[in-house]
Amino acid sequence: MSLFSDTKEGVMFTVKVVPGSSRTQIAGPMGQMLKIKVAAAPEKGKANDCLVDFLAERLGIRKNAITIVSGHTSPVKQIRIEAMTSDQVTQQLGLTENK
């Protein structure tokens, strides 16, 4: 099973966010989720903003191409990336999938 799934709206995946880390980085796969540590605190949406900024920079896309579909106040979030395929996201994030 892949971490990422292609839909007509874009690539969907689940992220487990760990706020308050020393730096923002991908910690790696965690079951069917991608674990990402963010430096921002989990207050007033700062961790969400940090996550979107980080993904936009790593993927080389605009921030508005990234949508937090669900989990705005939860550490587990559903993310949608527009105008990319799951293979492109996997490559840009430096992940290798075992198929």
CATH of the domain at 34: 3.30.1200.10
Answer whether residue 99 is part of any domain.
no
Answer whether residue 48 is part of any domain.
yes
What tens digit of pLDDT does each residue of 30-73 get?
999 999 999 999 999 999 999 999 999 999 999 999 999 999 99
Given a cut of 60, is residue 10 above it in pLDDT? yes
Answer whether residue 95 is part of any domain.
no
Helix H or strand E segment including 92? helix 86-92
Give residue 84's pLDDT: 96
Given a cut of 60, is residue 98 above it in pLDDT? no
**Are the CB atoms for 88 and 97 separated by under 8 Å?**
no
Given a cut of 80, is residue 20 above it in pLDDT? yes
| Domain span including residue 57 | 4-89
Give residue 99's pLDDT: 44
The pairs formed by 18-23 with CB atoms below 8 angstroms and a separation of 24 or more are 18/75, 19/46, 19/47, 19/50, 19/75
The predicted model gives 10-14 an average pLDDT of 97
Res. 96 pLDDT band, cuts 50 70 90:
confident
Answer whether residue 30 is part of any domain.
yes
Answer whether residue 96 is part of any domain.
no
Given a cut of 70, is residue 6 above it in pLDDT? yes
Into how many domains does the chain fold? 1
